[in-house]
Structure 1
Amino acid sequence: MKLIKTDKTKKKADEPRTNLTERIYQIIKDDIFSFRLVPGDRFSENEIAERVAASRTPVREALARLQREGYVDVSFRSGWKVNPFDFKKFEQLYDVRIVLELAAIKKLCEMETAPDLEDVKRIWLVKPEDRLKDGPTVCGLDERFHEQLIEATGNMEMARIHHEITERLRIIRRIDFTQRNRIEATYDEHAKILRTIIERRAEDAKSYLKTHIEASKAEVRKITLHMLYEAQQQHPADSE
């Protein structure tokens, strides 16, 4: 397993340790979800510290956090190792997300005063030629679309819980936007959901939303398995 050092990982001289730990955490997590580190890969704290130009203390703190989240594990004899991809955990998070968003749609359709969805409509109810094409940009807008539906209910506790789930899913959901057809599908499906909410057709809106999220979940799983297979073929010896 070879870790590539890049300019973006250079340590800032005045960077607080909490920020440094968070940055290292995000770098390693990104490596795992971009399959630069695949299940079975082993590495040492020294390798990570050299790559990110940091001491071992913030590296150890970042790895401990990833260990608590189930992404890596450590052995006294062989150092750190990337754990198998836990689809079950992500599917459970998707299930919770669906429950929250279905409840939000029901409330939006029943509100006495129509919810303010103008900002959402300006982004998603556009002509095909005005749609954005950049995957990461659309991914960010997709995330906000679902958060804004929750926020429009006025239930900030629901919004807080939903935001926490969104953050835990973010690094895998972006895989859904590596395919052009998925970007187009997102625009079509969001527009359909929005229109049925505006028309207060709660059951149709809930059905469209559930289908939309389930399709995204299935696509993410399929793409992830394909990307994982390709990554393992590139360096199979590392995954033994």
Structure 2
Amino acid sequence: MPISRNTIGSLFVGGALAATLAALAYPSMLGVQKTSSNGARVIANTQWGPLTEADRNFVVFVRSAGLWEGPSGDLAMKKGTSAAVREAGRHLVIGHAALDANCRKIAPELNITIPNQPTPQQQGFLDKFKSDTGKQFDSDFANILRVTHGSIFSTIAKIRATTQNTLVRQLADQANDVVLDHIGQMEKTGLVNFNQVNFQETTPPKLPSAQVTPPVPQPGAPVVALSVPPGLPTDGVPTGPATQPSPSASPPASPSGSPTVG
């Protein structure tokens, strides 16, 4: 049966509400404990162009999204009761591994600290999938992930249209291809309730920042890397445009005095 607004809104993590998709609709909240409300504010001048708050938050968002959507895809390949759900899971695993590799590459170049865990809200979605079985898993998987990807699609377009940073622009190009592919995969399951999904995307709840902020990684902790399991075929799965090699004539500009993202 299709997932309802009440079902999504009833997700909890440690007693804290982890309801629908505000983190994805409002990625400026991700990874930033205290920040100005001006996403266009330049926080660093780098050799790849100025880096704004919105640019920085977008890199953190893409990383955080992969940390729960990649594992969700793995669950779908194992628990999905239909070939379409399992195929959607394969696309998630491969697509987010590619995005994650790019995030891990450009984050140190731009002096951005990326998280090793998803937000509490995102972890709530993943925990829901872990507890689901049978057709309920299929329905929750298709509808929740259709909302999350649909909610961020316009944000990707805005970043792509406005950023002056070439590394962030390349990430937005890649994310556009991957997210559009994942939207299509969810729809191919035949389980998406478009009325409910559209309502969730256009009326997201306002959540406390703690629920939509990924935990700050411990100093010195190894960076978690998403990867494609050995033997999993990658044919037919878009991973986005190939990124260009970073300039090597000079080291990345150090954004001294600029806050990094936790």
TM-score, length basis structure 2? 0.25
Higher share of residues assigned helix: 1
When normalised by structure 1's length, the TM-score is 0.26
